[in-house]
Amino acid sequence: MKEPAKKAGSGKKNRWIFLALPVLVSVLLLLVPVPAGLEPYAWHFFAIFVGVIIGLIFEPLPGAVIGLTGVVVIALFSQWLLFSPAELADPKFKTAAQSFKWAVSGFGNSTVWLIFGAFMFAAGYDKTQFGRRLALILVKYLGRRSLTLGYAITFADLLLAPFTPSNTARSGGTIYPIIANLPPLYGSKPNDPSARKIGSYLMWVAITAACITSSMFLSALAPNLLALGIVNSVTGINISWGTWFIAFLPVGLLLLLTMPLLAYWFYPPEVKINDEVPRWATAELAKLGRMSRHEILLLVFVCCALAMWIFAASFIEPAMAALLVVVLMLWTGVLNWNDITSNKPAWNTFAWFATLVALADGLSRTGFIAWLGKEGAALMGGISPGAATIALLLAFYLLHYLFASTTAHTTALLPAMLTIGAAIPGINMQVFCLLMVTSLGVMGIITPYGTGPSPIYYGSGYLPTKDYWRLGTIFGAIFLIALLVIGYPWMVMMF
């Protein structure tokens, strides 16, 4: 009885440390002399912003609470943190009203609503079981051989990715529950030497597929949509769904086609062939029966949304297209209103990202981003635009080792990288922006905590710690090289 009590006490102590850490970091930064060339209020805003990022990294409270706290603190002390002396000196400037307007500005951001709409798509996949049906069909026809089973898992993730903005929901909520049933059919058990029979291979393929598809589609990873808003806020560049897809297409196709084979070489399964898996998938499909009316309607609706995102962005805002599909799902019964109101992950992400969008915009509003870009560009003086692009991408990619959240990584580093890039003469900013944002998914492979599904597969019992770090280094290097050697020249040619 003493041991659990001791662990509980230790956990409580750690939580208090993690709660105090963001406050301590912010206070220390507030006490640091303001850097030359920067307004005091901009530096003070940055101090609170860094505190929020520290909170997002260690998460003593939910991310949405951390973000909301940061917004409220800045709004309450806006005279010293948000507004310039010139604004405050204007008799017509209403500080209280403007503070509140800034604090809730993220909730009116179209990117945030696009994220919310895409979460509703995922709810439709889950409720109708259409996502499970897709995965089982692929396993049925490709599951006899270990290698083709790896491709089945990859293609299942690929089919779900454009309509699922959370790779945790897609991979952890749909793919993992299915493939977790497969290793026992081969006599492969977690936390056991038999894990290498096939379970280890399948789990590694699943997490790598999730990372690749997260980079391939704008709508496949929630931080992608956050990055879109940051790019527009910092540089004024708009990236459409189609532009994103085309930019990453050759890299994505190459990685998707070769990754299961690479995993087969670097982490080979002991069992190569098994007839049980297709039979199991056939039985599970029989339990599902024929496609229901709701599944058919969902398929039609998501295809319409995809068509609008690709071909009609100039006629209908992507977020409005998503909301239109949500309304259609509600009217046709694919979802009901309770499915909307009870979807805690969707509302949590909505609140979280709305606050992060406001905070990221505040960095630009106060002039901190412009100052940082000027200082960063000075440090990189004399470097060619191409070399600067590669150096900044390498730094952005490798710094992900410090983050347990792609969202925190995006919020903390992307504005700075974009600003430094924009200040370098001759750099192709559209290509630079595309390189940065399309790296967000694939960089998640490097650590067991690098992206949402990572802890799920790491904790499955099939991927020992040393194997995960070794493979993460190998595949992280492969993904980065592919982005630099294939993606960069392709983007320069296309954009």
482 vs 252: CA distance, rounded Å: 9
Q: Taking the model in full, what pTM does it have?
A: 0.78
Task: Give the residue carrying structure tokens 């905070």.
Answer: 359
CA angle, residues 329, 330, 334, in degrees to nearest 5: 50
- Provide the token pair at 475: 């595949």
User: Can you give the pLDDT at residue 1?
Assistant: 46
Q: What does the DSSP assignment read for 35-104?
A: PTTS-HHHHHHHHHHHHHHHHHHH-SS-HHHHHHHHHHHHHHTHHHHT--HHHHH-TT--HHHHHHHHHT
- Provide the token pair at 290: 């024929």
**Beta-ladder partners of 146:** none
**Contact criterion met (CB below 8 Å) for 408 and 221:** no
**Contact criterion met (CB below 8 Å) for 114 and 316:** no
**Contact criterion met (CB below 8 Å) for 416 and 139:** no
**Contact criterion met (CB below 8 Å) for 145 and 383:** no
pLDDT per position in the chain (495 positions), as tens? Answer: 455 555 455 667 777 888 899 999 999 999 999 999 899 999 999 999 999 988 887 878 888 899 999 999 999 999 999 999 999 999 999 999 999 999 999 898 877 887 788 778 878 888 888 878 877 887 888 888 999 999 999 998 998 898 877 787 788 767 887 788 788 878 889 989 999 999 999 999 999 999 999 999 998 998 998 999 899 988 999 999 999 999 999 999 999 999 999 999 999 999 888 788 888 889 989 999 999 999 999 989 988 887 887 777 678 888 898 899 999 999 999 999 999 999 888 888 788 878 888 888 888 789 887 788 778 778 777 789 999 999 999 999 998 987 767 888 898 889 989 999 988 889 999 999 999 999 999 999 998 878 888 888 888 889 998 999 999 999 999 999 999 999 999 999 998
Indicate the burial class of 84 (C-beta count within 10 angstroms; 0-12, 13-18, 19 or more).
Answer: middle
Indicate the burial class of 4 (C-beta count within 10 angstroms; 0-12, 13-18, 19 or more).
Answer: exposed
Q: What is the DSSP letter of 143?
A: -
Q: What is the DSSP letter of 219?
A: G
- Provide the token pair at 71: 């917004």
228 vs 399: CA distance, rounded Å: 20
Task: Give the residue carrying structure tokens 């007839």.
Answer: 275
Indicate the burial class of 485 (C-beta count within 10 angstroms; 0-12, 13-18, 19 or more).
Answer: exposed
Q: What is the DSSP letter of 427?
A: -
Q: Kindly state the greatest CA–CA separation across the chain.
A: 78
309 vs 317: CA distance, rounded Å: 8
230 vs 120: CA distance, rounded Å: 23
User: Can you give the pLDDT at residue 27?
Assistant: 95
User: Can you give the pLDDT at residue 170?
Assistant: 82
How many other C-beta atoms can be found within 10 angstroms of the C-beta atom of residue 281? 24
User: Can you give the pLDDT at residue 150?
Assistant: 94
153 vs 203: CA distance, rounded Å: 10
User: Can you give the pLDDT at residue 11?
Assistant: 63
Q: What is the CA radius of gyration of the chain?
A: 23
**Contact criterion met (CB below 8 Å) for 122 and 164:** yes
Of 470, 464, 460, whose CA–CA distance to 206 is shortest?
Answer: 460
Task: Give the residue carrying structure tokens 């790779």.
Answer: 167
Helical residues (DSSP H) of 236-292, grouped into ranges: 241-266, 276-288
Enumerate helices (H) and strands (E) in the chain, giving the number of each: 26, 0
**Contact criterion met (CB below 8 Å) for 143 and 152:** yes
How many other C-beta atoms can be found within 10 angstroms of the C-beta atom of residue 390? 15
**Contact criterion met (CB below 8 Å) for 248 and 487:** yes
Q: What is the DSSP letter of 439?
A: H
